[in-house]
């Protein structure tokens, strides 16, 4: 028999972070000001046109598109942790499910905005819906991203319903209108067996549904590249290559979030060292798979060295992009794998550092996939200004690329200030089951 006081402690521990404190205001103020600076940069782009970026005729997909791929990639982690691990009965992952879902939702929702930053005439976005051709991967991408955002939102919301009721019950210090929002959102939850049954069933359906949709979203994103004949993109393994790469950056994002939640929200009892240890192993696993695909992606064309492949591969291996290429492979992939094999490294702080390297590497990796090949088109570049031949992102462009990242942080911060980021209801249920 577990005593009521234990339940009360769990509830109050997990609900405690839901309040607006000083550090929250400072952090949000910082994010807000940074966002305004970036939005100013965007207004410059709207006014002057895409010429304020480093994009020109040959390299027409630059930082924005690599940013987009990174965002879609990172959002995939929701599917891996909440759905795949959840369905396969990995109980250790369930306290992390909501964190993963929040990250997934934030990144997926903002990914759509990232694409708009790449448009000189954003008001023409409507034409995709009016005149889109279903033969085009662009339209498939718009479709799956929309679906993924919807499913992620539901996947976050449905298991949250019992917790919303708990919030409504326990947080009587809140102003009435705020409590009422909880009340409305908790859909008259009383915890009756029928209600529990429906929630269980819906969660299960969503968990199964999100797997193919998540695979689709990143596979289609990879097809935006792979359905062309361009060297470096024209690859039949681009789908799985992107998906596994996505798990790497997503896992890193979850580890970073875990670290900050654990420390700032005092959740040491709920996000334990065991969770870090498991996440470290998961990161090693997905990184190894990704390394395997990376090897295939460069080894096969690198062995044959067909004329145009060779130009591209030389630029990456020994040419202008070599420094970036090797740093990404070594510091973003190989070293993290090696380090995390040691148990001592799978502790919160070392893992935070490793995860930061991995996530920066993941961003730069997208840059390497998207940009260098465009500097070597099949037809030779002739009689053009220097900045057409070599792409250098401008400051304005970099600021605009930063905006979505800030936006994601804002969304994650706000969400974790209004809902318990560790499922309260499930934690209690879990305790009851194992007692």
Name the site residues for another protein (rule: CB under 8 A).
131-135, 140, 143, 147, 150-151, 154, 158, 161, 187-190, 192, 194-195, 198-199, 201-202, 205-206, 209, 213, 382-383
Kindly tell me which of 233 and 290 has the beta carbon lying closer to another protein.
233
Kindly tell me which of 210 and 359 has the beta carbon lying closer to another protein.
210
Give the C-alpha separation, 382 to 389, whole Å: 9
Least distance from another protein to the Cβ atom of residue 129, Å: 12
Give the C-alpha separation, 389 to 413, whole Å: 41
Least distance from another protein to the Cβ atom of residue 189, Å: 6
Backbone angles phi, psi at 271, to 5 degrees: -105, 95
Kindly tell me which of 135 and 229 has the beta carbon lying closer to another protein.
135
Give the C-alpha separation, 42 to 50, whole Å: 10
Give the C-alpha separation, 97 to 308, whole Å: 45
Q: Indicate the burial class of 360 (C-beta count within 10 angstroms; 0-12, 13-18, 19 or more).
A: middle
Least distance from another protein to the Cβ atom of residue 383, Å: 6
Give the C-alpha separation, 374 to 317, whole Å: 16
Least distance from another protein to the Cβ atom of residue 225, Å: 17
Least distance from another protein to the Cβ atom of residue 143, Å: 6
Which tokens in the block code for residue 334?
Answer: 């190989």
Is-contact 148 108, C-beta < 8 A? yes
Give the C-alpha separation, 421 to 258, whole Å: 10
Kindly tell me which of 78 and 393 has the beta carbon lying closer to another protein.
78
Kindly tell me which of 175 and 385 has the beta carbon lying closer to another protein.
385
Kindly tell me which of 43 and 201 has the beta carbon lying closer to another protein.
201
Least distance from another protein to the Cβ atom of residue 58, Å: 15
Least distance from another protein to the Cβ atom of residue 154, Å: 6
Comparing CA positions, the residue from 387, 392, 397 lying closest to residue 44 is 397
Kindly tell me which of 89 and 385 has the beta carbon lying closer to another protein.
385
Least distance from another protein to the Cβ atom of residue 133, Å: 5
Kindly tell me which of 140 and 391 has the beta carbon lying closer to another protein.
140
Is-contact 399 44, C-beta < 8 A? no
Instruction: Write out the DSSP string of 145-159.
Output: HHHHHHHHHHHHHGG
Kindly tell me which of 129 and 303 has the beta carbon lying closer to another protein.
129
Least distance from another protein to the Cβ atom of residue 158, Å: 7
Is-contact 54 101, C-beta < 8 A? no
Query: Which is it for the CA torsion 269, 275, 277, 279, positive or negative?
Result: negative
DSSP 380: P
Give the C-alpha separation, 385 to 233, whole Å: 26
Query: Which is it for the CA torsion 85, 87, 93, 97, positive or negative?
Result: positive
Which tokens in the block code for residue 393?
Answer: 């992102």
């Amino acid at each position: 028999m577990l005593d009521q006081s234990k339940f009360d402690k769990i509830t109050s521990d997990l609900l405690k972070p839901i309040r607006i404190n000083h550090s929250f205001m400072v952090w949000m103020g910082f994010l807000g000001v940074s966002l305004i600076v970036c939005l100013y940069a965007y207004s410059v782009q709207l006014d002057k046109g895409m010429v304020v970026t480093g994009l020109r005729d040959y390299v027409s997909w630059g930082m924005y598109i690599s940013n987009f791929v990174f965002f879609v990639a990172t959002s995939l982690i929701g599917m891996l942790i909440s759905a795949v691990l959840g369905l396969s009965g990995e109980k250790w992952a369930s306290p992390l499910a909501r964190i993963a879902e929040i990250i997934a939702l934030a990144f997926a929702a903002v990914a759509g905005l990232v694409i708009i930053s790449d448009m000189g005439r954003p008001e023409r976005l409507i034409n995709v819906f009016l005149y889109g051709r279903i033969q085009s991967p662009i339209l498939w991408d718009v479709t799956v991203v929309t679906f993924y955002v919807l499913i992620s939102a539901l996947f976050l919301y449905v298991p949250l319903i019992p917790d919303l009721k708990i919030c409504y019950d326990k947080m009587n210090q809140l102003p009435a209108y705020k409590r009422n929002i909880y009340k409305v959102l908790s859909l008259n939850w009383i915890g009756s067996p029928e209600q529990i049954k429906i929630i269980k069933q819906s969660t299960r359906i969503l968990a199964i549904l999100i797997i193919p949709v998540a695979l689709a979203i990143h596979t289609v994103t990879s097809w935006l590249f792979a359905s062309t004949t361009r060297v470096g993109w024209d690859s039949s393994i681009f789908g799985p290559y992107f998906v596994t790469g996505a798990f790497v950056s997503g896992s890193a994002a979850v580890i970073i979030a875990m670290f900050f939640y654990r420390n700032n929200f005092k959740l040491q009892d709920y996000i334990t060292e065991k969770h870090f240890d498991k996440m470290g192993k998961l990161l090693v696993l997905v990184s190894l798979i990704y390394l395997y695909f990376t090897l295939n992606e460069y080894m096969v064309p690198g062995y044959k060295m067909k004329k145009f492949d060779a130009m591209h591969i030389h630029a990456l291996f020994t040419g202008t992009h070599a420094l970036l290429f090797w740093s990404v492979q070594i510091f973003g992939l190989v070293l993290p794998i090696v380090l995390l094999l040691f148990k001592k490294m799978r502790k919160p702080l070392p893992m935070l550092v490793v995860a930061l390297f991995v996530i920066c590497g993941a961003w730069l990796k997208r840059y390497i996939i998207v940009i260098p090949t465009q500097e070597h088109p099949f037809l030779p570049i002739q009689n053009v200004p220097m900045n057409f031949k070599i792409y250098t992102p401008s400051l304005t462009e970099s600021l605009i690329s930063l905006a979505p990242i800030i936006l994601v942080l804002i969304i994650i911060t706000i969400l974790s200030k209004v809902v318990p980021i560790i499922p309260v209801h499930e934690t209690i249920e879990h305790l009851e089951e194992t007692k």
